[in-house]
């Protein structure tokens, strides 16, 4: 019985002794990256229409034309179809299956340019021009501190998140 009373007394003492005046404030944390307070960051972006043909080796390089940082991430969306007068955009890469093989629309990027290219097992020369000509892409460069923090598969969501109201046409 004495042990039970001792345990209850010590428990009550611990629980009631946890309150008291607030302690001294801690040291300030490290200073963050300077920015513009209250401003919504606009991600650099553009739209481009291009052809994938044998003479360009079924690839196309486009310089950004604006400053990017080594840590930035480039996203590329392809105009996949128009449905009820609404553009349908898909995040690359995109794969199409044919009986002769696969076609992959893909891209890669550096700090200075983005490369659009066809990949896959199908003979690119045998493709109908609807798969290789007048292909429209939208490019968005995302600051690295935001990479992985949201779903980038929906272009409209990305446009809203980064205050993109229009794409420069190239």
Q: Is residue 55 part of a domain?
A: yes
Question: Is the separation of the CB atoms in 36 and 109 below 8 Å?
Answer: no
Q: Is residue 88 part of a domain?
A: yes
Q: Is residue 36 part of a domain?
A: no
93 Cβ partners below 8 Å, 6+ apart? 104, 105, 106, 107, 119
Residue 66 sits in a domain whose CATH number is 2.60.40
- Residue-level pLDDT at 32: 60
* CA proximity to 43, closest of 162, 167, 169, 151: 162
Structure tokens given for 108: 């890669």
- What residue numbers bound the domain in which 105 lies? 41-169
Q: Is residue 15 part of a domain?
A: no
Q: How many domains does the chain have?
A: 1
Q: pLDDT (tens digit, 0 to 9) for every residue of the chain, 170 residues total?
A: 555 545 555 555 455 555 567 777 777 777 765 555 545 567 899 999 999 999 999 999 999 999 999 989 999 999 999 999 999 999 999 999 999 999 999 999 999 999 999 999 999 999 999 999 999 999 999 987 656 667 889 999 999 988 899 999 99
The alpha helices in 87-138, defined as continuous H runs, are: 129-132
pTM for the model stands at 0.73
């Amino acid at each position: 019985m004495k042990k039970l009373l001792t345990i209850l007394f010590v428990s009550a003492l611990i629980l009631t002794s946890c309150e008291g005046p607030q302690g001294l404030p801690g040291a300030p944390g490290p200073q963050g990256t300077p920015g513009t307070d209250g401003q919504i960051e606009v991600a650099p972006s553009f739209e481009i229409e291009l052809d994938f043909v044998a003479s360009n080796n079924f690839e196309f390089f486009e310089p950004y034309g604006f400053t990017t940082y080594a840590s930035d991430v480039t996203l590329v969306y392809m105009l996949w179809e128009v449905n009820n007068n609404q553009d349908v955009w898909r995040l690359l890469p995109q794969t199409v299956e044919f009986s002769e093989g696969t076609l992959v629309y893909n891209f890669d990027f550096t700090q200075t340019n983005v490369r659009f290219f066809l990949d896959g097992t199908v003979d690119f020369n045998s493709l109908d021009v609807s798969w290789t000509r007048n292909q429209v892409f939208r490019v968005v460069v995302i600051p690295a501190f935001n990479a992985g923090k949201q779903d980038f598969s929906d272009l409209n969501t990305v446009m809203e998140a980064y205050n993109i109201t229009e794409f420069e046409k190239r």
